[in-house]
């Protein structure tokens, strides 16, 4: 069997102590996640993070830093994901933007509200990224180098 990790991006978008999350279907269950998704061909990590946030929430954002790089193997399917998590600030909401299939909608939640929804987390990475962000784990966007 050939092992291939999946490269993904996610964003932590905060506004006055509340964080932008995505409520989406995973199978037939509604779950919560940061705006996140896979890197597309010929796309930079920064472009992917901005695109995924728009496609899943209808929000334009400005990236402000890198929260962390995480390796996660999903217990449900054994797939390994390398997630690059960015911080960003909200710029403009497009309420009529057509969201990706399976997306219920964007939700602004405090950390405490998120904790109350733990059975509905898509993965444990959700709280880890939020807590790293809240602990001041923010690195320069220059950490991400463009391809040559």
Number of domains within the chain: 1
Residue 1 lies in a domain: no
Residue 137 lies in a domain: yes
The percentage of residues in the chain with a pLDDT greater than 70, rounded to a whole number, is 99
Q: How far is CA 22 from the centre of its chain?
A: 8
pTM: 0.93
Q: Following CA atoms 13, 4, 28, 21 in sequence, which dihedral angle do they give, to the nearest 10 degrees?
A: 0
Query: Are 65 and 116 spatial neighbours (Cβ–Cβ below 8 Å)?
Result: no
Which H or E run includes 80? strand 80-93
Residue 41 lies in a domain: yes
CATH number reported for the structural domain that contains residue 99 in this entry: 3.90.79.10
Residue 82 lies in a domain: yes
Residue 80 lies in a domain: yes
Q: Which residues are within 8 A (CB) of 112 and not within 5 positions of it... i.e. 6 or more apart? A: none
Give the residue among 85, 127, 122, 135 at the shortest CA–CA distance from 110. 127
Continuous H helices in 6-143? 45-57, 111-116, 125-134
The percent of the chain in helix, strand and coil, each rounded to the nearest 5, is 25, 45, 30
Give residue for tokens 């102590």.
17
Residue 148 lies in a domain: no
Lowest mean pLDDT among 2-11, 61-70, 85-94, 129-138: 2-11
Give 94-139 pLDDT, tens digit per residue: 999 999 999 999 999 999 999 999 999 999 999 999 999 999 989 9
Which H or E run includes 24? strand 18-26
- Residue-number span of the structural domain to which 15 is assigned: 6-143
Residue 135 lies in a domain: yes
Residue 39 lies in a domain: yes
């Amino acid at each position: 069997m050939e092992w291939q990790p999946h490269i993904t991006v996610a964003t932590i978008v905060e506004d006055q102590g509340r964080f932008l999350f995505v409520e989406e279907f995973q199978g037939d269950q509604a779950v919560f996640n940061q705006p996140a998704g896979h890197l597309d061909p010929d796309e930079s990590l920064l472009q992917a993070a901005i695109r995924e946030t728009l496609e899943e929430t209808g929000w334009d954002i400005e990236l402000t830093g890198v929260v962390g790089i995480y390796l996660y193997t999903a217990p449900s399917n054994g797939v390994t994901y390398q997630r690059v998590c960015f911080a960003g600030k909200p710029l403009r909401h497009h309420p009529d933007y057509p969201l990706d299939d399976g997306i219920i909608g964007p939700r602004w939640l405090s950390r405490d509200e998120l904790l109350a929804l733990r059975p509905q987390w898509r993965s444990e990475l959700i709280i880890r990224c939020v807590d790293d962000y809240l602990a001041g784990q923010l690195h320069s966007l220059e950490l991400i180098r463009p391809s040559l």
